[in-house]
Structure 1
Amino acid sequence: MNPLCGRCNKVVYPTEKVNCLDKFWHKGCFSCEVCKMTLNMKNYKGFEKRPYCNAHYPKTSFTSVADTPENLRLKQQSKMQSQVGKGCPAPLYSCSSWLHPAVECY
């Protein structure tokens, strides 16, 4: 039995078959999800098993990191380490795996 098209759910025959993104497509159905521009194997971009043209390919946005105690500690440690060697008079001492400035840096 011939597979069904990923766009129109009709039978795709071997002469018109495009196999991409783990689906089969009619050549005319293999198009951008947004603008419906017909795509081919050279100009498509896949996102979540759907085809997109370059202009409409979803941009992945930056995700923020949760403020867990471990991440807050790493952020504080990184901030203090970035001040080392910048004329900061604050020596660092270790106290139960946390680094604390002995003197405030301005």
Structure 2
Amino acid sequence: MDLSTSQKATLGYAAFLGVGGLMGYLKGGSQKSLIAGGASAAVLCYVYMELPQNPVLASSVGVVTSAALTGMMGSRFLRTGKVFPAGVLSVVSLVMTGAYLHGLTRSVR
């Protein structure tokens, strides 16, 4: 199976969020991090699977998910000033939001 660049990026992003949520739980006992990271990773796994068959739907779900994470983690970064994890995650999510928007505009044409 040959994966598209969008699928590879989505899979990497999902893994990043899932591992980050697990790290937050293991290091700080944060169940909130575990649940949020796991849920976000699960949604992005759906996006990954749906991209080849329905790129408009998949990119739309990806935009909403990554934009929400950009907003939440960006505001947390502004409030706490902590580069990791809030600053890093907000930047990665912003980049992925742009990637999904790019994919969406290419799919709609």
* TM-score tier after normalising by the smaller chain length: under 0.3
Q: What's the TM-score, normalizing by structure 2?
A: 0.24
Q: Which structure has greater helix proportion?
A: 2
Using the size of structure 1 for normalisation, the TM-score is 0.25
Which one has a larger percent strand, Structure 1 or Structure 2? 1
Larger CA Rg, structure 1 vs 2 = 1
Select the structure with the greater relative contact order (CA < 8 A; seq sep ≥ 6): 2
